[in-house]
Amino acid sequence: MNLEDIRSHCLSKAGTTEEFPFDSQTLVFKVLGKAFLLTNIDQPDSINVKCEPELAIELREKYNTITPGYHMNKKHWNTIVLKGNYNRQEILGWIDHSYERVCARLPVKMKAQLSLL
């Protein structure tokens, strides 16, 4: 997968925006202002995604190219090296899971807003 594939997939999700809140290299995809994916545009060889804690541990044990989220809460975020031993659909599934985890934690008012988009 390349950066443009990831970008297209993220932006196809309701309420998603892309920003550079930290610096000019760290691209962050957010749903209604809440981050669900981060990547470095200068070296887009990995992504950070939010993950259910038990699944995060399971994935780290299964793949040596998935580690606790770099500069993130290690319990809830994974860093996924894109050239790991998994396929495109798995990566897209982990991106979807991250988006869904963030959406599930949105306040009721924001969830209602999202359902209208």
CATH code of the domain containing 67 = 3.90.1150.30
Nearest to 60 by CA among 78, 36, 38: 78
Which domain covers residue 82, as residue numbers?
3-115
Mean per-residue pLDDT over the chain, rounded: 96
Residue 32's pLDDT is: 97
Residue 66's pLDDT is: 97
Q: Tell me: the pLDDT tens digits for 18-47?
A: 999 999 999 999 999 999 999 999 999 999
Q: Is 1 a residue whose pLDDT tops 90? A: no
The number of domains in the chain is 1
Residue 33 CB coordination number (10 Å):
11
**Mean pLDDT, rounded, for 45-66:** 97
